[in-house]
Structure 1
Amino acid sequence: MEGTSVRRPRGPSMADVARLAGVSGQTVSRVANGKQNVDSVTRARVQDAMRQLGYRPNGAARALRNGEFRSIGVIVFELSTFGTTRTLDAIATAATARGYSVNLMPVLSVNRQAVTDALTRLGEQAVDGVIMMIEARILDEVQLPVGLPVVVVHAGAHYDHPVVDTDQTQGARLATEHLLDLGHRTVWHVGGPPSSFAADQRRRSWEQTLRDHGRDVPPVLIGDWSSTSGYDAGCELAVDPAVTAVFVANDQMALGVLRALHAHGRTVPADVSVVGFDDMEEAAQFWPPLTTVRQTFTEVGRCAVDTLLAELHSSGGHTQVAVATTLVVRNSTAAPS
């Protein structure tokens, strides 16, 4: 009949489960909240009654009783970048495996107020801790919350919070030394944006490796992680006959460098060797297949979740987790002709 409302049937209650299982409501509550002071036979009977009735424990009420929401907040910028998407996927997988949900909070404009607002919103949505996936240069300006466990997925943060990141210094050294070991006199570098700590660490490590080997340090060309910026940098490098080896700060820019060299008649690797950073899936399908530094994003995400959960049950500290990189040698590098 028009104008009448239909009342949704009431779901099964804890009392319904207790009656079916033949136990007290208090016993059902213990089982629902994961308490251990219930014998295995009784626990199995209660769980079977829950399944028969389709009873689901009230997670919000349980959180209020236990002081734990089983939820992790993740604040992130630049959702579309390769490393971010892979790390987010790893965080979600690791959190789910440990019985936690993930509350994603994208930050569209990276500034102090935007990050502070994101932290406030997450606090209102009841999370047990936060993983920050934003450049540490911005985080240095943000007052992180007191009492809320925080893990930063980035190098260079200056906080009394754990930091988890790829070993950027090791990766850049592997790339640069590979090219020097092939016989190149020096190595040019296409770096990421100045705002990026990862790009800054890769650049510093490249420069220090050249100095450690007594080699000249060429001027750095700066990109923005995109293949277009890599192409622009590659066009500058291609017209300089002295350029025989290039370390590019990520694979997407390396793709642009490869195209620019080809467009200018410079053969890779006969004329110029190129090394990238990331080992994105497509790197093996570039022409030629790209030699690159592999980041294990799965391990970074897993370590971030494990470190945050450890923070939930400790007093915190200055944990620094550096996930090792490996060099994947393909056909874009060779000895100079």
Structure 2
Amino acid sequence: MDDQRRNVSMQDIAREAGVSSQTVSRVSNGSDSVRPATRDMVLAVMDRLGYRPNFAARALKRGRFKAIGVAMFDIVATGNLLTLEGITKAASDLDYAVTITMMGKGQQRSLAAVVERMKNLPVDGVIVILEQMLPDVGTFVPPAGMEVLLVTSAQSTTMSTIDEDQYGC
């Protein structure tokens, strides 16, 4: 692979800017512990070389993805677009990304299946919008390390719920 096509690393930026990789890391992560002149120089080199942070490496280092999963069965069902708009706005305000998955016809219809599908994606937690009742809502226990929030009129003793009736919200 030629140099034009490979990803630019922090070491490439450090070498070009004449600073340490740790300084480049601090600039990349928005740390205040770098002098403004050094920060500006590193940012200019990043821009010139086309540096893009490695999302996977950051997630491994931090132990989180800064992403929320949203699972639903019908994006155009009454209220779902407004709910999705609220979720994406709140996520954006907190610098989180949103991954949406649709559970289509023919797929296993259970909360366990929905969460299992989301577990395989780079998300820190999942919001499940239930416009239809699933058979295991009352018994499903989320796996360790995966926060699950249900948007439904049903109650759960094993996970957080938000009433889907938007009256007064």
Q: TM-score range by the shorter chain?
A: 0.7 to 0.9
As a proportion of its length, which structure holds more helix?
1
The corresponding residue for 2:71 is 75
| Match in the other structure for 2:157 | 159
Matched, 1:143 2:141: yes
Match of 2:168 among 324, 327, 332: 324
Q: Which amino acid aligns with 1:58?
A: N
Which of the pair has more CA radius of gyration? 1
What is residue 34 of structure 2 aligned with on the other side? 38
Equivalent residue for 2:128?
132
Once superposed, which parts of structure 1, at least 4 consecutive aligned residues long, lie more than 4 Å away? 109-113
Equivalent position to 1:59, from 55, 60, 63: 55
Give the alignment partner of residue 46 of structure 2, picking from 50, 56, 78.
Answer: 50
1:35: how far off?
3.9
Pick closer, same or farther for the CA change 1:63–1:161 going to 2, 3 Å. Answer: same
TM-superposed deviation, 1:77:
1.7
Query: How far apart are 1:72 and its partner, in Å?
Result: 0.7
Say if 1:39 and 1:53 are closer, same or farther in 2 by CA, change over 3 A: same
Show the counterpart of 2:12.
16
- Which whole-Å CA distance do the structure 2 matches of 1:149 and 1:40 have between them? 39
Matches within 5 A, 1:111-122: 114-122=110-118
Note the alpha carbon deviations across 1:225-244, whole angstroms, 9 max, x for none.
xxxxxxxxxxxxxxxxxxxx
| Structural mapping, 1:141-220, within 5 Å | 141-165=139-163, 168=165
Letter in 1 for 2:151: V
Report % sequence identity: 37
Give the CA deviation at 1:129: 0.9
Offset of 1:89 from its aligned partner? 2.5
Deviation at 1:92?
A: 2.1
Q: Distance in 2 between matches of 1:140 and 1:110?
A: 22
Cα deviation 1:89-130 (Å, max 9, x = unaligned): 222233233222111121225997543222112112121111
Letter in 2 for 1:19: R
AA paired with 1:14? M
- Is the 1:77–1:110 Cα contact (8 Å) retained in structure 2? no
Q: Which amino acid in 2 is paired with 1:83?
A: G
Range moving further from structure 2, 121-130 or 155-164: 155-164
Note the C-alpha offset of 1:34.
Answer: 3.6
Q: Which amino acid aligns with 1:75?
A: A
136-145 vs 17-26, which deviates more? Answer: 136-145
TM-score w.r.t. length of structure 2: 0.80
The two structures have a TM-score, normalised by structure 1, of 0.44
Distance 1:117 1:89 in 2: 24
Q: Distance in 1 between matches of 2:72 and 2:15?
A: 47
Is the contact made by 2:141 and 2:159 (CA closer than 8 Å) also made in structure 1?
no
Q: Check conservation: 2:142, 2:159, Cα contact below 8 A.
A: no
Q: Which one of the candidate residues 84, 101, 107 is aligned to 2:103?
A: 107
1:251-298 per-position Cα deviation (integer Å, ceiling 9, x unaligned): xxxxxxxxxxxxxxxxxxxxxxxxxxxxxxxxxxxxxxxxxxxx4xxx
Question: CA–CA distance in 2 between the matches of 1:136 and 1:160?
Answer: 19
Find the counterpart in structure 2 of residue 227 from structure 1.
none
Kindly state the Cα deviation for residue 71 of structure 1 after the two structures are TM-superposed: 1.1
Any stretches of 5+ residues in structure 2 without a counterpart?
Answer: none
Quick one: structure 1 residues 11 and 110, their matched pair in 2 at CA, closer, same or farther if it must change by over 3 Å?
A: closer
Measured in 2, the distance between the counterparts of 1:153 and 1:103 equals 16
Q: In the TM superposition, what whole-angstrom CA distance separates every residue of 1:179-216 from its partner, at most 9, and x where no partner exists?
A: xxxxxxxxxxxxxxxxxxxxxxxxxxxxxxxxxxxxxx
Cα contact 1:112–1:142 (8 A) shared by 2: no
Amino acid at match of 1:145: P
SS in 2 for 1:82: coil
